[in-house]
Structures are given as structure tokens and as C-alpha cells.
């Protein structure tokens, strides 16, 4: 059975993961409007990953005999005006999510829920990968600067990203 505090923390994080899906859907639209199909694909994969992250926790709460409470999802804002700025926002968002996973692990520690800690380990590793992926694209965009040809080459590259359903936990 899930401790009440742990259950609330999971429900909050489920909301954050769905918010991430929403935010990346909004960013996908930004790139649809620019007709950069590789970036569109990259965000499409990101959207599917966030959905999988949310559902992983959703299933886990049930598995532990807890109650899932779906909270309202905030309206996402794409603050960036250029692809570079959009990726700066993406990195900032992923760093925020990492801090949230750490906070979730702090709760698991506090209530001595070792099973939750071991489950959350997957998310911690995933965040390292997420930050590194986003950081890689951001570094390329910094190098590219105003070079439109190079931007189209990166777009081609990002078109090759595929979604692989994760095995969580």
C-alpha cells in the first residue's frame, strides 16, 4: 500500500509528466508552422515519451494499491521565438523535471518506501538521457547560428529519431 504522502507526490508528478507532453505538443506546433519536419518528428517522439512516463507512474500507483488523481493540466507556453530559444526552454524544463524526480525520491526516502525508490531509479536515469539529448540539439543550434543550410541539415538529422516504447521500472 502506498503511503498517503507518497501517493500525493506520485499524483503531482503524473500531472507534471502530462504537462510535459502538452508542452512538447505546443512546441511541435511551433515547428509545424516553420515547416521543419525533422524538428516536428523530434518533438513527436518527445510527446510519446512523456505520455509513457506519465502512464508508467499511473500504472505504478495502481499496482501499489494507490488511488490515481488526475489534476488539471496547465496551459503550456512556448516562450522561445527561435528554434534555439525553444531548445533553451526545453533544457530548462527537463532540468526542472529532474529536480522534481529528485524531490519525489526524497519523499520515498522520508517515508522509507524502498520499492518506490527502486522504481524511480529508472526515471532518474531517463532524466540524464533526456537532458543529454536536448543539450546535444541545443549545442548544434548554437553552432549553426544563422546558417539556414546547416539548420536544414540538422532538421534532416532529427527526422531519423524514432520512438521506442520504454520498459519502465
Min dist. Cβ of residue 154 to ligand OFO (A): 21
Using CB atoms within 10 Å of the CB of residue 24, give its burial: 0 to 12 exposed, 13 to 18 middle, 19+ buried: buried
Q: How far apart are CA 30 and CA 26, in angstroms?
A: 7
Could you tell me which residues come within 8 angstroms of residue 75 by beta carbon, excluding any fewer than 6 positions away? none
Nearest to 134 by CA among 55, 39, 30: 39
Min dist. Cβ of residue 160 to ligand OFO (A): 20
Would you say 44 or 94 has its CB closer to ligand OFO?
A: 94
Would you say 94 or 113 has its CB closer to ligand OFO?
A: 94
Please give the C-alpha separations between residue 86 and each of 24, 134, 137, in angstroms, as whole numbers.
10, 11, 11
Would you say 105 or 151 has its CB closer to ligand OFO?
A: 105
Would you say 93 or 151 has its CB closer to ligand OFO?
A: 93
Min dist. Cβ of residue 131 to ligand OFO (A): 9
CA atoms within 13 A of residue 97's CA, in its CB half-sphere: 29
Min dist. Cβ of residue 128 to ligand OFO (A): 11
Per CB under 6 A, residues contacting ligand OFO are 17, 20, 50, 53, 94, 97, 130
Amino acid at each position: 500500500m502506498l503511503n498517503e504522502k507518497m501517493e500525493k507526490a506520485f499524483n503531482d508528478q503524473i500531472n507534471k509528466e502530462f504537462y510535459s507532453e502538452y508542452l512538447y505538443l505546443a512546441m511541435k506546433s511551433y515547428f509545424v508552422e516553420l515547416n521543419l519536419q525533422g524538428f516536428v518528428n523530434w518533438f513527436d517522439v518527445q510527446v510519446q515519451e512523456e505520455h509513457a512516463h506519465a502512464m508508467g507512474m499511473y500504472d505504478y500507483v495502481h499496482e501499489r494499491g494507490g488511488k490515481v488523481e488526475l489534476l488539471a493540466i496547465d496551459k503550456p507556453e512556448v516562450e522561445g521565438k527561435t528554434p534555439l530559444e525553444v531548445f533553451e526552454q526545453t533544457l530548462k524544463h527537463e532540468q526542472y523535471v529532474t529536480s522534481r524526480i529528485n524531490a519525489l525520491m526524497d519523499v520515498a526516502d522520508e517515508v522509507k518506501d524502498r520499492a518506490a525508490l527502486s522504481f524511480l531509479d529508472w526515471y532518474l536515469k531517463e532524466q540524464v538521457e533526456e537532458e543529454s539529448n536536448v543539450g546535444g540539439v541545443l549545442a548544434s543550434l548554437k553552432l549553426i547560428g544563422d546558417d539556414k543550410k546547416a539548420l536544414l541539415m540538422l532538421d534532416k538529422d532529427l527526422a531519423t529519431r524514432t520512438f521506442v516504447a520504454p520498459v519502465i521500472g
